[in-house]
Amino acid sequence: MFTPFDAHAGERVRMLEHEPAHVSSLEGVSVWMKERFSESEIAALSAADLGVESHLCSCADKPDPHFPYMVALFTTPRGDLVARVEAHEHSPKITPLAVRNGDQYCNLESAEPCYGSFATVCEFTDFRYGPLLQPFFPTCK
């Protein structure tokens, strides 16, 4: 189970054995992990193999502004799950968005189709969700 505490953008947070987050908040992550790894592979993973990164994209980002978007990366040896994080009552709601392998961002269900290569997760969210966010943040980009 990944840690339920706050992390700051750019910090890498290791999986720790604290109180588990609400199961419903991590259901999408659990399903993705079970599809990616066998039960024996999951059991063999160590805390060093898994991590969580928090990214807060912002119009104030310098030198390149990004549309506002909060993203969590659940890092594994077999690629990273890119997920949107939203406040939902007493626990975060995590919605899987894409799989990242290196700088390539792809569909959740299969390695193809891929959205493309992006240097940062904020560039990916600008590409994928920027057209939807533009009307709400017309001076951002």
Quick one: pLDDT at residue 30? 80
Q: Is the peptide bond before 138 cis (omega within 30 degrees of 0)?
A: no
Per the domain annotation, does 76 fall within a domain?
A: yes
Per the domain annotation, does 7 fall within a domain?
A: no
Per the domain annotation, does 140 fall within a domain?
A: no
Per the domain annotation, does 59 fall within a domain?
A: yes
Q: What's the mean pLDDT in 71-91?
A: 86
Domain with 64 in it: 12-133
pLDDT digits (tens, 9 = 90+) for 37-63: 888 988 888 889 999 999 999 999 999
pTM confidence score: 0.75
Lowest mean pLDDT among 6-20, 24-38, 106-120, 127-141: 6-20
The DSSP result for 93-129, as a single string, is EEEEEEEEETTEEE-SSSS-SEEEE-SSHHHHHHHHH
